[in-house]
Amino acid sequence: MKKEIWVYLETSPDDRLYAGTKDLLAQAGAIAQLLRGAVLNGKGGSAAGEDIGLRGILTGAEAGRLEDAALEAVLYGAREVTVIEGKELETFSPECCSDAFAQLLKKTRRKPELILFGRSPDAMDLAPALAARLDAGMLSDCVGAVPGPEGILWERHAFGGSAVSFVRFREGKTPIISVRPGSFGGKAGAGVPCLRTPAEAAAVPVTRFGYQPDRVIARPSLIRVLESAREQGTDIGSADVIVAGGNGAGPEGFALIRELAGLLHGAVGASRIAVDKGWAPHSQLIGQSGKTVAPRLYINCGISGSVQHIVGMRDAACVVSVNTDPRALIFNVSDYGIVGDLHRVLPELIREIRSSRG
Ligand SMILES: Cc1cc2nc3c(=O)[nH]c(=O)nc-3n(C[C@H](O)[C@H](O)[C@H](O)COP(=O)(O)OP(=O)(O)OC[C@H]3O[C@@H](n4cnc5c(N)ncnc54)[C@H](O)[C@@H]3O)c2cc1C
């Protein structure tokens, strides 16, 4: 049987792949290369040179609605796609989804090298549920890996990166790993490149697996979706430019932040306090309890630089910070710092950009 890494694919309400899932596929490709290298170096017990392909796994009530997403997954690196179809999968629930995954593994008798998840709220629910269901090991928020004499060592950071641990899985069970966006050479913010043409992708096999629970599944976490709110503006997960505001911004500051983001064709981000105060929606939260971003330009205004915020933005290529306090911690991770009141700095910046464009 061919060696495979399975990748959990997530779709938006209009049944397209999320940008974060495309990033995950790119990371999975890098991990496949790494595993293959480890195998070639004699670890892993596999035949030298053996290829490791990516299988994307989609779940939903109607496989027909997921055809475009399956095609996208192939464009972005999946070699094959399996759609698990079942009416219980209409709304996400970790109980049903983990049961469906377990059934797919059992009935197809497959044993992937790894099962990979992103860092979305659903993935963070599903990965540990599946690990518990399969009695397998699980590592969350993995940021890297190195081949060691006893096998691959998977890297994880704690306490905002001040502690690093390396984890090795026992042989025998399929490891389950959730990956931090932008790790393994992924591109959380900037566009992920397509690896195939649509014509090549159309030739790739997409298989359907019908899921029916063979036991009663308690669904304590079932959420009934009454209305799904569309995200405002550009998604911060895939934006090249982010202008973010914090507690120092206030509602007027956020109006300026939105204006600047619009001028730069970027997205609006926020710190936790700004979200808690209702100045920005939760989908724009950056940091430990929000999204991890890696834009080319990250302009932040009135954000102090707590460790919980910095873990979400430190992979930005260029950081510009505006803060009245010259000792603010955010300046330690900034390429450019402006000590000043954002209510004065941002209008100047906006005026300059407008006048430079004529
Ligand atoms: C478990 C846990 C998870 C968390 N997760 C997150 C997370 O995901 N993301 C996150 O951001 N936080 C998170 N937090 C909260 C975090 O600890 C901080 O409280 C938060 O990041 C601070 O937000 P802030 O920088 O906007 O506000 P503050 O710390 O209050 O900083 C405001 C800054 O604005 C500056 N300022 C004030 N007025 C102006 C002005 N007019 N012009 C320019 N600058 C000005 C001030 O000098 C100050 O530096 C978490 C906390 C916990 C405990």
pLDDT of residue 48: 43
Look at strands 80-85 and 151-158 and give their pairing. unpaired
Decide whether any atom of ligand 1 lies within 6 Å of the 322 Cβ: yes
The predicted structure's pLDDT at residue 159: 77
Ligand 1, atom 52, lies closest to the CA of 308
pTM of the model: 0.74
Give the per-residue pLDDT at 196.
Answer: 75
3-210 folds as: Rossmann fold (3.40.50)
For domain 241-356, give its CATH number from 3.50.50.60, 3.40.50.1820, 3.40.50.1220, 3.30.930.10. 3.40.50.1220
Pocket probe for ligand 1: among 257, 260, 268, 272, the residue whose CB has the most ligand atoms within 8 Å is: 272
Q: Quick one: pLDDT at residue 233?
A: 66
What does the alpha-carbon distance between residue 7 and residue 195 come to, in Å, rounded to a whole number? 16
Q: What is the pLDDT of residue 323?
A: 98
- pLDDT tens-digit map of 104-163: 999 999 999 999 999 888 999 999 999 999 999 999 999 999 987 888 999 998 876 789
> Could you state, in chain order, the average pLDDT of each consecutive group of 10 residues for the chain (358 residues)?
92 87 91 78 47 94 92 92 94 92 96 94 94 96 88 87 90 93 67 72 86 78 58 75 97 97 96 97 91 91 96 91 98 97 98 92
pLDDT at 121: 84
d(CA 311, ligand 1 centre) in Å: 13
Q: Are 337 and 323 in contact (CB under 8 A)?
A: yes
Please report, for the chain, the start and end positions of each structural domain, with discontinuous segments joined by +.
3-210, 241-356
Output the residue whose Cα is nearest ligand 1's atom 50: 308
Q: Say which amino acid occupies 182.
A: G
pLDDT confidence of residue 276: 97
Topology match between the domains 3-210 and 241-356: yes
Mark out the alpha helices in the chain (DSSP H runs). Answer: 19-40, 67-75, 94-108, 121-134, 198-202, 250-263, 272-276, 307-313, 342-356
Q: How far apart are CA 34 and CA 146, in angstroms?
A: 8
Cβ neighbors of 93 (< 8 A, separation 6 or more) are: 219, 221, 222, 223
